[in-house]
Copies of this chain bind each other. A is one copy, B any other.
Amino acid sequence: MIKVGIIGGAGYTAGELCRLLLNHPQVEIRFINSSSNAGNKITDVHAGLYGETDLVFTDELPFDEVDVIFFCFGHGKSAEFLSEHKIPERVKIIDLAQDFRLAAPGNDYVYGLPELNRSQICSAAHVANPGCFATCIQLGLLPLAAAGLLKNDVSVNAITGSTGAGVKPAATTHFSWRMGNMSIYKAFNHQHVPEIKQSLMQLQPDFVNEIDFIPYRGDFARGIFCTSVVRVDECTDTEYFVNLYKEYYKDCAFTHYADKAIDMKQVVNTNKALVHVDKFGSKLLVTSTIDNLLKGASGQAVQNMNLMFGLEETLGLKLKPSAF
């Protein structure tokens, strides 16, 4: 059994981690740290766990009892935490925040996108779990980068659920405002673009173009649906691209090329990603979709944990789709 500690345990990604790990056959949760909730039952904070656990939040950090720690902090706090606490070397770390996603001198975190870095993850001690939008967008573009086909700016439009905005209530997550509404934010400036570019350049070192990403606030709680438009050679037929994607993802546990048009609820409440391509003249339209809390966060974190500990990649992640 892998002994797990979760730090920053009161947010959405920590809750989803608990919901996953409580049913994981090879995991034992040893502690869930949340100073603001210390002493409270996790069932009081994380919906859906009633009757499944008696776990209580703690403000302690018994690092010596665990094999792996998940950081579920807000962005920017992981580095701060590490500077203030000494974590034993044998304890692996999976950071769900963005602090270590970008390569930098002294940063030994592997970027935890299995569709890109599977073998490095398998031997990693520290993994930086990708962002939710970043995951969905990359899964739409990786096969093209691997074939060196990204030669122009890419137009990306992606819409996310309200859980992407976190548990803290705000004007844009007020039900009265968001229900039946549509808006954009951080257009051309979203913080996930650098990690996307880094991955594309890893596969296609001459990639120098822009990812023109427009994020939308969706009128739903879970999921990301993304369209990417890429200029390609008009003479190459669609079949070529379909095969490129099928080949790239053929051994992936959770990412599948779909022969038909996709919709978001096909993956909601699963760790799966679906990708589909169509071609119109010289424009390749790629649609990709994930659950932002699963493949876009906690599910991918568990997938990375499975790989880091030599377990079967899908363990604890064969989730019934909600479908409706």
Spell out A's residues near B (CB within 8 Å). Answer: 12, 15-16, 19-20, 23, 44, 46-51, 155, 157, 159, 161-163, 165, 167, 169-171, 173-185, 187-189, 210, 212, 214, 216, 218-223, 225, 227, 229, 254, 256, 258, 260-270, 272, 274, 278, 280-281, 283, 285, 287, 289, 293, 318-324
A187 touches B318 (CB 8 A): no
- Known contacts A47-B265, A162-B179, A222-B324, then 9 further A-B pairs from the complex at CB < 8 Å, ordered by chain A residue: A23-B320, A49-B321, A50-B266, A157-B214, A169-B170, A177-B263, A180-B221, A182-B218, A212-B283
Contacts of A181 in B (CB 8 A): 220, 263-265
A222 touches B51 (CB 8 A): no
A sample of 16 cross-chain residue pairs with beta-carbon separation below 8 angstroms, ordered by A number, consists of A19-B321, A23-B320, A48-B265, A50-B256, A51-B256, A51-B274, A155-B155, A157-B157, A162-B324, A173-B176, A174-B175, A176-B221, A188-B281, A214-B227, A219-B219, A322-B322
The 10 closest A-B pairs by CB, nearest first: A48-B321, A169-B169, A182-B225, A51-B256, A183-B263, A188-B280, A180-B220, A162-B175, A221-B324, A182-B264
User: Is chain A's binding surface mostly helix, strand, loop or mixed?
Assistant: loop
Q: Which residue, A162, A265, A269, A278, has most C-beta atoms of chain B within 10 A?
A: A265
A212 touches B229 (CB 8 A): yes
B157 touches A227 (CB 8 A): yes
Q: Which of B46, B49, B176 contacts A167 (CB 8 A)?
A: B176
Of all chain B residues, the one with the shortest Cβ separation from A162 is B175
Contact (A225, B180) CB under 8 Å given A174-B173, A272-B51, A320-B20: no
Q: Which residue, A157, A161, A176, has most C-beta atoms of chain B within 10 A?
A: A176
B269 touches A269 (CB 8 A): yes
